[in-house]
Amino acid sequence: ASIGGCLIVSLVVLLAAVPAPFSLLRQRHLLYGHPAQETPVSPVTAGMLVNEQQHAQGTSIEAELSVSAALVAYLVQSINDYDREVQAVANCGERTFRAPTAAGSPERLFSMCVPQTRNIVSDVLRRGAWEKEQILASAEKMRECGSPGDARCVFVDVGVEEGWYALNIAALGYKVIGFEAMLRNVYATTRSAHLPANSFEGSAIPDIQIYPFAAGDKYERCVVASNPRNTLDGHTLCGASNTSHVLERANLTRRHDVQTVLLDDMLADVSPWMIKLDVEGAELKALRGAREVLKRVKYVFHEVSRSLLTDAGDAGDTPEAVLAFWQGINYSCRPSKVSRTDLRTMFTGRDVVTDILCTNLNSLTHTLRP
């Protein structure tokens, strides 16, 4: 596909992301009334209650309109930023990869246009595959849900980057919903998904949905930044003081603003089988905004880094807090790679960086929505 064609497709994806939070704002069940009174209420008191109720309704509507206006403003700004961000990944080299099919299954290939830019993942992909062991494990977990092509088995990729995980899982035939804060990565992934080589019969790749938002625990405008030597590895930084401090200390360059959303809102009608989370230290923020959807998920795979949690997270966001969060909602977590060290001991390390796989112990009878 041409760059212009991919730009149009990506803008459609960008605009398509709006209805989910807007729809939720319209459908929220807010209780403005008061409990039933057992004793008669005087007309004066009744009038006061009515005024209070109307004020509460008005305040709530104003708040919802404020959120809606913020999302519209974000989309307008994103469109203005988009051309510049596209140029950052305009040059790419198409490469063919093998999808992680089960042993004995027919080979499935997919193509990816790897950006010609300074980026760790891109550099590795030009020489071979990235995180092969993790990709194989993710594919194996998805097969537990059902056969490739089963529309009920959804893989959610939070922190898509240039699309490596999303494309691998989609090439197997599973539905993929992604969230990516960096506009250049939204474009790069969408471009790869719509390469002519990926339009084979039965391919689910063109159906990848990528939302240009960052996952958080509240709606707010944040900054996306990356290191000049690792340009596609986006860091979402929120709060003016934290942002300026981290940008300087970590040698990050501000790229553009990003709107955060709650995964509970965006995935309100989805029961994902697996979530892969790669958000450079904002893991707890994303998870706190996904408490409801996590009740319906079987597996969550993500990185834990003490230094990144300190930079991008809230005060108190530590590996120990991550483990406490999972235990609090009855998930069991282990290192994604075989290790003799348990997570609690591993997390005592000063510079701990590890991938973990968390399993929902409440979902042994996981039911999928049609």
Rounded Cα distance, 249 and 167, in Å? 34
SS3 string, 104-122, reads: CCCCCEEEEEEECCCCHHH
Mean pLDDT by 10 residues, the chain (370 residues): 44 47 39 36 47 56 65 71 83 93 89 91 90 92 88 92 94 93 92 84 67 91 90 86 76 90 93 93 91 96 83 75 92 78 71 86 58
Q: Could you write out the DSSP letters of every residue in 231-282?
A: EEEEEEE-SHHHHHHHHHHTT-EEEEEEEEE-HHHHTTT---SEEEE--TT-
Cross-strand pairs, 331: 360
Domains and CATH numbers, the chain: 88-360 (3.40.50.150)
Q: Model-level pTM?
A: 0.80
* pLDDT in the model for residue 353: 79
- Contact criterion met (CB below 8 Å) for 161 and 180: yes
pLDDT of residue 63: 64
